[in-house]
Amino acid sequence: MKLYGIRKSNIDRNGRGLYAIKDIKEGTRIINYVGKIITKKKTEESKKFDNSKPIYLFNLNGRYDLDGDVPWNIARLINHACLNNCDYEGKGLKLWVVAIKDIKKGDELTCDYGFSYDSDYKQFPCKCGSKNCVGFIVREGSRWRINKKFKKIQRVSR
Ligand SMILES: [Zn+2]
């Protein structure tokens, strides 16, 4: 049964997002994250993945990546939030978006995009509105560096 719908996003004001169309229990696989399976060699050679724009690339294993930047991948519409309610879960060459907490009908589905901290982080501002938002899309484990830099130390309420 379909658990999500596509609507204009509250986070990305210029774009769309996915919303829960019914209550979703923690641990539920909501949607398959699909795309093109490509070799790491191709990833390294392609200009598309040079980190100059938001990318939808996942590491599947030592040999293959998944490029989710394809029109038929609905899951790519899921926006980043610093207090995300979903996460990506991989098994073999399959990738799922899974609820990591109980989600209420009408809530926007959000993931942690997991961009690592580097000098380019400022090109990905975050407007998710979470209490713990650091203002930029950065992997949770790297956020302390941003917090330190901007002296916006806040407790993560999870
Ligand atoms: Zn945020």
Average pLDDT over residues 81-93: 89
* CA of residue 47 to ligand 1 center, whole Å: 28
Cβ neighbours for 122, distance < 8 A, ≥ 6 positions apart: 136
pLDDT exceeds cutoff 70 at 139: no
* CA of residue 138 to ligand 1 center, whole Å: 9
Q: Give me the pLDDT at residue 148, please.
A: 44
Across 142-156, b (16+ Cβ under 10 Å) vs e yields: bbeebbeeeeeeeee
- Asked which of 31-35, 115-119, 137-141 is least confident by mean pLDDT, the reply is 115-119
Q: Which residue has the higher pLDDT, 102 or 157?
A: 102
pLDDT exceeds cutoff 50 at 150: no
Q: What span, in angstroms and rounded, lies between the C-alpha atoms of 156 and 20? A: 24
Q: The tokens of 119 are what?
A: 């000098």
pLDDT exceeds cutoff 80 at 146: no
Q: Which pLDDT tens digit goes with each residue over 8-47?
A: 998 887 789 999 999 999 999 999 999 999 998 888 788 7
Q: Give me the pLDDT at residue 109, please.
A: 97
* CA of residue 29 to ligand 1 center, whole Å: 23
* CA of residue 45 to ligand 1 center, whole Å: 31
CB atoms within 10 A of CB 120: 11
Q: Give me the pLDDT at residue 154, please.
A: 37
Residue 69 near residue 76, CB atoms below 8 Å: yes
Closest C-alpha among 141, 90, 81 to residue 112 = 81
* CA of residue 136 to ligand 1 center, whole Å: 6
pLDDT exceeds cutoff 60 at 142: no
Residue 45 near residue 33, CB atoms below 8 Å: no
Q: Which residues surround ligand 1, an ion (CB under 5 A)?
A: 82, 126, 128, 133
